[in-house]
Amino acid sequence: MSTPIKTKRLLIRNFTKDDYNDLYEYLSDKETYRFEPGEPITIGIAKILCNDRSKNNDFLAVQLKNKVIGHIYFAQISPIILMTWEAGFIFNRKYQGKGYATESLTAIIEYGFKNMNAHKIIAHCNPKNISSWKLLERVKMRREGKMRESIYFNSDENGNPIWLDTYEYGLLKRDL
């Protein structure tokens, strides 16, 4: 992202290599992965992730004062001719329930429609992640469907996928 996005309380910006301690704080928390793929990371992995994320615009740091409290995923999906972007978010549990995710997601949606020529912005979440889908509805996204057993992140003891359902949300530029 060429220009950071400023909201009332937050700064949404590219990651820097120095953000690793804050990223580690919330991505090392096992509870973070209750509805997300992956598992808690080490400080070494946090350094690698911050270095990688500092070189692209897909993952954006959400900063409160001088602390990264979460991140937004925002990337154009293929084929690009469809002008569709996907959004996602993970926030430090210590900062949840204070409206920061709503504020930052609202800002990134506005940015996508105004500056990225987005026609549509989509998001996915686990139906059991009530906080997540309520947040998507707060930012005016519409539930467009439930995909049954459409994704898996883990396998059982026999190596079989543990399939999960997914809600798909969408927002068209004209919906604003």
pTM of the predicted protein model = 0.94
Confidence of residue 37 (pLDDT cuts 50, 70, 90): confident
Element (DSSP H or E) covering residue 163: strand 161-172
Across the chain, what does the average pLDDT equal? 96
Mean pLDDT value across residues 137-149? 97
Domains and CATH numbers, the chain: 5-175 (3.40.630.30)
Contact 75, 87 (CB under 8 A): no
pLDDT of 174: 95
d(Cα 30, Cα 168) in Å, to the nearest integer?
A: 25
